[in-house]
Amino acid sequence: MNKPTRIDCLQYCNWSRARFEEMRAGGLDAVHVTICYHENFRETVANITHWNDWFAHHRDLIFHGRCADDVRAAQESGRTAIFFGFQNCAPIEDDIRLVEICHSLGACFMQLTYNNQSLLAGGCYEPHDSGITRMGRQVISEMNRLGMVIDMSHSGERSTLEAIELSSRPIAVTHANPSFWRLAARSKSDTILLELAKSGGMLGLSLYPHHLKDGSQCTLKSFCEMVARTAEIMGADNIGIGSDLCRGQPDLVVAWMRTGRWSKDMDVSGGVFPPQPPWFESAADFGNLDDGLRQVGFNQQEVDNVLGENWQRFFVRSFVAANNV
């Protein structure tokens, strides 16, 4: 009998062999990793070269994932498939042709915006959400054609709903929590949860302390009760985990994430990474979610779905070029 699939659909750690060993200790078959925030195309290519070095030096632990079959290959080889994603559309600059180039380099996910207004959509921090722009509509069509997942984790309400409507494929919110549990700028409303589920999209639930009820003191039971409530709203087949784990990152990275080069001021109070809750300090703790979900009433098949099988089915549908569907 095959081992149940385990997928974390968002991490941005300070990468090293120790981080990859933690993935293996947690039984993760696939991880969607952030390879850019505000980097332009050339800078993103430089980040990819770093990943190519890691793939070469740690080939016993990780490899570059590009399609759903790579998750199964990871299971068979005892490694973790790494899927590239952008948390912003900065790498495509103002050139729609770069979407295909980025996809050819291995990008499987792209957020249309990271908190701010972009050329494509409105961000969750903007006082006015513009919705999907003219270029955004074209980029959505191009991503649909290529088999590149539209991610609306840091987008505003209107933009997210319009992306769901405009996309010919189901979209994803890879790392955000519902607003009924913890209200934050990028928490998602019940309306988004329902529309996401209706379209066959996926919500990845986050373990980033700023988006947990009670922050770093959030309990495993509280988190898993939130997962259960979310499943009641949008169905247990439309949710997964996108931990947003930033393991080992220095606090100075927060400034890059939040302000990039567009501002001289830190726009979020604190500017530090909060401690992870003790039951999820690293990817090695992924198995704790299995126990927690069963304790709040999920059966083992539902647990397996939430912890990876749902994402795997989404990958099967999503990472295929339109002319091959």
**Distance, CA of 126 to CA of 120 (rounded, Å):** 14
Q: Contact 144/136 with Cβ under 8 angstroms?
A: no
Q: Contact 84/106 with Cβ under 8 angstroms?
A: yes
The pLDDT assigned to 269 comes to: 52
> Residue 2 is which amino acid?
N
Strands (E), 71-223: 80-86, 107-111, 149-151, 172-173, 202-205
**Distance, CA of 193 to CA of 301 (rounded, Å):** 22
**Distance, CA of 182 to CA of 118 (rounded, Å):** 26
Strands (E), the chain: 7-11, 30-36, 62-64, 80-86, 107-111, 149-151, 172-173, 202-205, 239-241
Note the pTM of the prediction, 2 decimals. Answer: 0.97
The pLDDT assigned to 325 comes to: 45
For residues 289-299, average pLDDT:
98
**Distance, CA of 284 to CA of 287 (rounded, Å):** 7
Other CB atoms within 10 A of residue 142 CB:
17
Could you give the 3-state DSSP secondary structure of residue 8? strand
Burial (0-12, 13-18, 19+ Cβ within 10 Å), 232: exposed
The pLDDT assigned to 255 comes to: 85
> Residue 276 is which amino acid?
Q
Q: At how many degrees (to 10) do helices 190-198 and 220-234 cross?
A: 60
**Distance, CA of 247 to CA of 207 (rounded, Å):** 12
pLDDT at 5 over 80: yes
Burial (0-12, 13-18, 19+ Cβ within 10 Å), 92: buried
For residues 103-108, average pLDDT:
98
For residues 136-155, average pLDDT:
98
- What pLDDT digit, counting tens, does each position of 216-246 carry? 999 999 999 999 999 999 999 999 999 999 9
Q: Spell 37-66 as b/e; 16+ CB within 10 A means b.
A: bbbebeebbeebeebeebeeebeebbbebb
**Tokens 């549908």 — which residue?**
317
User: What tokens appear for 216 in the block?
Assistant: 């770093």
What residue ranges define each of the domains in the chain, with the CATH number in brackets? Answer: 8-320 (3.20.20.140)
- What pLDDT digit, counting tens, does each position of 171-205 carry? 999 999 999 999 999 999 999 999 999 999 999 99
Q: Contact 111/155 with Cβ under 8 angstroms?
A: yes
| Angle in degrees, CA 96, 196, 2, rounded to 5 | 95
* Mean pLDDT of the residues in the chain: 96
The pLDDT assigned to 55 comes to: 98
The pLDDT assigned to 322 comes to: 83
- What pLDDT digit, counting tens, does each position of 241-267 carry? 999 999 999 998 988 898 899 988 865
- What pLDDT digit, counting tens, does each position of 50-98 carry? 999 999 999 999 999 999 999 999 999 999 999 999 999 999 999 999 9
Q: Which are the contacts of 173, defined by CB distance < 8 A and separation ≥ 6?
A: 151, 152, 153, 160, 188, 192, 196, 201, 202, 203, 204, 242
